[in-house]
Amino acid sequence: VFPEFADKIAEYIGTEKAAALTCDFTTSTPTDRICSHIALMDTVKHYFEYRMLCGCGIPSIELTGTPQDWVDLRQKAEVLKDVEDLGWWTSELFVALDHFVAAAEGNPDVKFWRSICNVHGGSGFWSNFVTGWIQVFFPYSNGGSRCNDSIAQWRNCYEQGTGRETEEYNNGLAQGKRSSRGAPFDYVGYGMKLETIPVGVSQAPFTYTDMTTMKSYSMTFNGGVVAVLQDKETKALEPVSGWSVLDHGEIEPEGKGAENRAEETQGQRKHEG
């Protein structure tokens, strides 16, 4: 965005003057150039009013592995059919996984992939709700309760060819509305709230016993998606998995805690006496 501001300023003060204030030497880094553009903006800030809008989006998505990998993943999901009372979830999950297989085989549905976070690619800045199909991977909220009914709503909007939030967004832009959140409309939103999405880390508690001291410790195995890696060249983001072992402290032998508390109480009484 900084080169665009600099170019607009150059239209008024002249390209020669603007270039003289731009850091563009052989040793200049992108950060150096940005700083010089900001310095230019600062120099003439009393003559211009700067404005910008935020936007978001995913320029492209790459599925790694082979098409057979995605077919195998889809087949593995079939085991969920044997679990009672999961039809409300699997009916939506299978639809999404079928799209993964189709894309891996070279037949992507672009409109589907545009709806990953918000149906039909609506901006994610104006709502703290996830209305797209990504929510089908989170059947339960971080509190353990069943997700809201929007887990199926995304497909209804998608198949109708328009999303409710997209319609509200466009109407808001046309009317020039501004809400307290900075959104150009008054639409509240529907879907899965961002704060209810569970973490992508699984935990398995276990007890570790040190055979030398015969002391036991409460621990957990932890594994899952722990970070996001950005490619230096393409700037693409990739989820990264990892695992760890957490030590929650020594486990007191049964009855030891009560004995310690009794000893502390007796010690207090002696001290008071």
pLDDT of residue 271: 53
Which amino acid is it at 154?
A: W
Q: Residue 273 above 50 pLDDT? A: yes
Q: Over the chain, what is the mean pLDDT?
A: 82
Q: Residue 25 above 80 pLDDT? A: yes
Look-up: residue for tokens 């709230």?
193
Six-digit token pair at 112?
A: 């589907």
Domain-by-domain residue ranges, the chain?
2-43, 67-196, 201-256
Tell me: the pLDDT tens digits for 59-99?
889 999 999 999 999 999 999 999 988 898 999 999 999 99
Mean pLDDT of 216-236: 93
Six-digit token pair at 37?
A: 């553009």
Mean pLDDT of 143-169: 65
DSSP characters over 173-228: HHHT---TTS-SS-----SEEGGGSPPSEEEEEEEEEETTTTEEEEEEEEEEEEEE
Tell me: the pLDDT tens digits for 92-120?
999 999 999 999 999 999 889 988 887 65
Six-digit token pair at 129?
A: 């709700």
Using alpha carbons only, give the angle 232, 235, 239 rounded to the nearest 5 degrees: 95
Which residues neighbour 218 within 8 Å (Cβ) at sequence distance 6 or greater? 205, 207, 247, 248, 249, 250, 251
Of 123, 93, 118, residue with least CA distance to 192: 118
Mean pLDDT of 143-154: 70
Rounded to 5, what percent of the chain is helix, strand, coil? 45, 15, 40
Which amino acid is it at 81?
A: K
CA distance 204 to 264: 35
Neighbours of 202 (CB within 10 A): 12
Which residues neighbour 135 within 8 Å (Cβ) at sequence distance 6 or greater? 147, 150, 151, 154, 191, 192, 197
**At 32, is the secondary structure helix, strand, or coil?**
helix
Which amino acid is it at 255?
A: G
